[in-house]
């Protein structure tokens, strides 16, 4: 068996994240993992906090917004192809897609995602339409 892995993006989602986005699990290594996330048009995720891991997202297509809050820092940023954002551990966040097309992104998680029990649903700034609090 090779120590190197190669794969293509799965045609169908592997699961629905607690925030309500569709997840296609990609590859991982000891210290991190990667996944493709998609939020359908006009949908708003459930707010979340990840107590034990950091994330970096890169937007592939679509348009939307991301709200993040940690300690005394809070901001809403626009999401579109080419934008890259960080979500440090213990950051509250919520995101939404515009009404024209799905919001698609790649996310890297460090350490690797361990499952839905590793996140907490929280109150966001928008009314969620998908996920645990919808």
pLDDT of residue 51: 92
Closest CA to 9 of 25, 29, 28: 25
Domains of the chain plus CATH, in order, are 18-122 (2.60.120.10)
State the pLDDT confidence band at 132, using cuts at 50, 70 and 90. Answer: confident
Dump pLDDT digits (tens) for 32-58: 999 999 999 999 999 999 999 999 999
Which residues face 108 on adjacent strands?
34, 56
* Phi, psi for 45 (deg, rounded to 5): -70, 165
Count Cβ atoms below 10 Å from residue 38 Cβ, excluding itself: 18
Q: Is residue 1 over pLDDT 80?
A: no
The confidence score (pLDDT) of residue 122 equals: 95
pLDDT over 90 (residue 78): yes
Decide if pLDDT at 82 tops 70. Answer: yes
């Amino acid at each position: 068996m090779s120590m190197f892995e190669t794969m293509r993006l799965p045609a169908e989602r592997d699961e629905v994240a607690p925030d309500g986005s569709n997840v296609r699990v990609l590859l991982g290594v000891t210290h991190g993992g990667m996944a493709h996330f998609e939020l359908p048009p006009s949908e708003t995720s459930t707010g979340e906090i990840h107590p034990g891991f950091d994330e970096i997202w890169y937007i592939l297509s679509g348009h939307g917004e991301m709200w993040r809050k940690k300690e005394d820092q809070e901001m809403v940023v626009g999401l579109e192809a080419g934008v890259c954002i960080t979500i440090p551990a213990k950051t509250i966040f919520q995101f939404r897609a515009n009404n024209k097309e799905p919001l698609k992104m790649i996310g890297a998680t460090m350490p690797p995602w361990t499952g839905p029990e590793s996140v907490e649903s929280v109150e966001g700034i928008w009314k969620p339409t998908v996920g645990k609090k919808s």
